[in-house]
Amino acid sequence: MVSAATVTDSDYTFTGQPSGKTLKVEIISANDAGQAQPSVTAEIVVP
């Protein structure tokens, strides 16, 4: 996994991903105290 972005809203749009490839995504919530464990990994085939 590589970092794609850090956001404050609970959504994000990936663009320019390779069509036909499987994209796996994880989210880590964070605050000034630190980070939570990663979310369950979700995956989808990029259109």
Partner 1 sequence: MASNLLPSGLQDLFTLAEDMADGLHGHEVAVGVKQNTEAAFRADLTAAITAQTNHVAAQTAKVALSTAVTVADSNGKAFISTARNVLATYLGNGYSQAWDATGFPDQSTAVPGTQAKRQALLQALQSYFTATPAQENPPLNITAARAGQLFTALSDARSAANDGNTDAGQKKNTRDAAEKTLRNRMSGLVGELGQLLDANDPLWLAFGLNQPGATNLPDVADSLILTVGGTGTVLADWSDASRATRYRVFKQVVGVCYHGFRRHRDR
User: Where do contacts with partner 1 occur on this chain (CB under 8 A)?
Assistant: 1-19, 21-40, 42-47
Calpha distance 28→39 (Å, rounded): 6
Least distance to partner 1 from the beta carbon of 12, Å?
Answer: 5
| Cβ neighbours of 39 (radius 10 Å) | 11
Least distance to partner 1 from the beta carbon of 9, Å?
Answer: 8
Least distance to partner 1 from the beta carbon of 11, Å?
Answer: 4
What phi-psi label fits residue 16: left (phi over 0), alpha (psi between -120 and 50 degrees) or beta? left
